[in-house]
Amino acid sequence: MSHVLVTGAGGSIGTVVARGLLTYGHRLRLLDRVPLPATEIAEAQEAGHEMVTAEIADEAALRGALDGMDAVVHLAAIRTEARFTDILRENIDGTYRVFEAARQAGVRRVIYASSNHAVGFTARAPLVGIDVPPRPDTYYGVSKVFGEALGRLYADRYGLEVVSLRIGSFLWRPTAFRHLSTWLSHPDAVRLVHAGLSAPDVTYSVVYGISANTRRWWDLEPGRALGYHPIDDAEVYAAGILAGAAEPDPADYKNSYLGGDFIGPEYDA
Ligand code: 15L
């Protein structure tokens, strides 16, 4: 069992992960900028966990939230493309603040929610490893490259144990053709974060956060080496998805890259 701060605990992934980590016996402190829904507060408090309502930018509050923690799961972020100034504030500066406060507080491990969009301009292929160079597809992707690089720096320079999770499409269920490759189910997301928290001998690791999808493009071996053993497979939804829509046009360049729609002109600045 470890004492874990979860940032962005009220967000879509935060809510699922926080609830799931409780079942693994972690003691949680849940941080979000807005108060969590009353039902979740009641549930978490009943289980002996704490809630903190604060902005990541509030240094004193962040320091207080990290006090006594063994690990932080940093999920708070803008989750898609946005204006650069917003990405800079929330994803770049916000991530720096979390790593730096964790270092100062003596927190041992940081689990960082990166994204497949850190390498979104990489050509689709079975199987893309963790050793491909950064090829972000958006400012959002750039912020994830930054977060991974910062994690590497804090691991090398300060000895923090850091795990960067290149999350695919975190969804209740896949709804589009691309998701057959990129889906991360809710239960697998919990398994992924728990593996990151409980793996022994971490210095710095990058793993792809997807389920055991038959049509995956990313190599799951680095995750398995960490103890992440996904169970779900988007393939069980394939028939429904394929019946509802034509297969993507291979001549459309967006379908050649990992990032999918994020590659397209609608995501231009
Ligand atoms: C992500 O990183 C985003 O947070 C999410 O909005 C999706 O776009 C997902 O990647 C994806 O690639 O499907």
Q: What is the mean pLDDT of each run of 10 residues along the chain (269 residues)?
A: 92 94 93 86 81 96 97 98 98 98 98 98 95 98 98 98 98 96 98 98 97 98 98 97 84 91 90
**3-state secondary structure string, 47-88?**
CCCEEEECCCCCHHHHHHHHCCCCEEEECCCCCCCCCHHHHH
Q: Are 27 and 35 in contact (CB under 8 A)?
A: no
Q: What is the pLDDT of residue 188?
A: 98
Q: Is 169 in the pocket of ligand 1 (CB under 6 A)?
A: yes
Active-site option among 140, 208, 228, 267: 140
Ligand 1 within 6 A of CB of 182:
yes
Q: What pTM was computed for the model?
A: 0.97
In terms of Cβ atoms closer than 10 Å to its own Cβ (0-12, 13-18, 19+), residue 178 is buried
Ligand 1 centroid, distance to 210 Cα (angstroms):
11
Which of 13, 115, 257 is the best mutation target for the ligand 1 pocket, counting ligand atoms within 8 Å of the beta carbon and taking the most?
Answer: 115
pLDDT given at position 41: 75
Quick one: pLDDT at residue 163?
98
**Ligand 1 center to residue 5 CA distance, Å?**
23
How far away, in angstroms, is 31 Cα from ligand 1 center? 22
Q: Is 237 annotated in the active site? A: no
Q: Give which of 8, 131, 141 is closest to 72, Cα–Cα.
A: 8
Q: Is the shortest distance between the CB of 164 and ligand 1 below 6 Å?
A: no
Instruction: Return the pLDDT at 1.
Output: 61
Dist. CA 75 → ligand 1 center (Å): 13
Calculate how far, in angstroms, residue 15's C-alpha sits from the geometric centre of ligand 1: 17
Mutate to test the pocket of ligand 1, among 116, 121, 135, 164 (most ligand atoms within 8 A of CB): 116
The CB of 23 under 6 Å from ligand 1? The reply is no
